[in-house]
A and B are shown apart, each in its own frame.
Chain A
Amino acid sequence: MTPVTSGSGRTLSELFVTAAKQALDEAGVGEIDSIYVGNMMSGFLQKQEHLGALMATALGQEGVSTYKVEAACASGGVAVNAAVKALLSGLEEIVLVGAVEKMSGYTTPEVTTGLMMAEDRMKVASTGVTFVGLNAMIARAYMHEYGITHESIAQFPVLCHKNALDNPNAQFRKKIGVQDVLQSPLVADPLRLFDCSGIGDGAAALVLAPKDMAKKFNDSPVEIAASTVASDTLSLYQRPKITTFEASKRASNRAYKLAGIKPEDVDALEVHDAFSVLGVMALEDLGFAEKGAGTHLLDEGECERDGRLPTNSFGGLKARGHPVGASGVYQIAELAMQLENKAGKCQVSGARIGLAQSVGGIGSTVAVHILRAMN
């Protein structure tokens, strides 16, 4: 994976190739059967589509099967799901799955408009609401419904910033406190700047192969024990309840079943904390806390690296950075490092099972992956 940065001027190809070559080199793989590229906004911001062939060419791998996968901010997670299905079909054996997003170098209104393409253009974007605004509406409803304070929710970005201090790839390596969140500028009431992930560029990549083949390349490969995708209505207003993401529940329940595990078996968790309230809701929707009780885990220090449920141990979307379409692959790459005991200063001691949740749009698509150490 590349460090997440803003303003580097690196192109989509440069970002993707850097991450992909690193993944191929570390796996000791030369020949691949296919490339899956997760990305959300290249067509709008860079006026560039056809990323499958573009990246195959940039990598000198022209000839292989190529695919671009788009599911808004879940593009990376859904690309991994597509790659897993390709392996399970038996039609492909060694698959490169990477995801890339370049968001810096554009005005805030341009990026804001691009992100809103994940919602309904005719009925929702037409009101002038932004993605921060939609999440702000969730945050307000969540705090009202469950009697939770902004202070409680602000613990999530504080945790992520603390964890990112140890991650050399993180975009924001700066410790913050709850008061820093509450006193930062309002973006969309009640959400403030430090409730929100930033604008950044980055790419991450993985090499996937069937288990028996993976063992030839790596003594201790990590198994993808479950890969699921679930959906909900495209628009937030179309749902009777907006303080829970049903797609998170659906995708995770199915993933737990496929992997044969329960939430309490998870040693390392990566959730889609694009906004503080989403981090808290994820803890609930993925089965780690009752509805309205997600912040209790933060109060009790359970989500710290040495807690019962180490969460976003590399800094999460908030502090590692959220190059939107790429984040889902960052999460899985980070979990793989945890399970291989290669996470450096971010290491969660003895982690054997990891879960990653990647959210597209306003909870409209959710990808869940469960990873398991094989050694």
Chain B
Amino acid sequence: MGGFFSELGAYLSSANSRSEILGDLLEHIYLALLPLVLGILLAIAAGWLGQRWQVARSVLLVVSNLLYTIPSLALFVVIPGIIGSKILDSVNVIVALTIYTTALLVRPVLDALDAVPPHVIAAATAVGYRPAARFFGIELPLSVPVLAAGVRVAAVSNISLVSVGALIGTGGLGVLFTDGFQREYFSPIVVGIVLTMLLALVVDLLLVYLRKLLTPWERATTSKTAVKVAAA
């Protein structure tokens, strides 16, 4: 144990490894969060389609279930053959994680849109909302609570999966694992694990905060219930 800490101290005191770690961390953030944003947009588009056409809904649910079953390494290596990219290109990881994020979010988006009460939609239509404006102004904002739960799962899973990309030569904190393995050196591996988990925690907290910002009405209703409970 003492040996490990002196090894870790030596590793972290080298400016070289510190700048390497920082570079890996930044690339990790980019590789995990860009697909998250793309996946959310695609899932919302899919939800919009699925709400309008029953056939689209069934197809989307079956396809997303199937895509989600594909093991990460298998998906990473098959992407170049499908989109014609180079096998070591980081675009493979971005496309693969976008697919996972979308596949994971299609169901929550549909469930969330279904859960919007019909009388709210009727009221919005009555005050003059056109379908597109109603979707973005009423239905989508009201789906945030259900959607947010799915987004949190997708974010954590993306952050953990980016590391697998190191096996096909893309950057991110996974490089620390292959590096530590090849040099039989614990420090990079431990630093990589700790940073990945801290990153997941920070992103999760940010998403919880973002959800609060996007759902101001929830605060109003919870405080009212709290008052009622206190009064009773």
Is this pair of chains taken from one and the same complex? no
A→B interface (CB under 8 Å): none
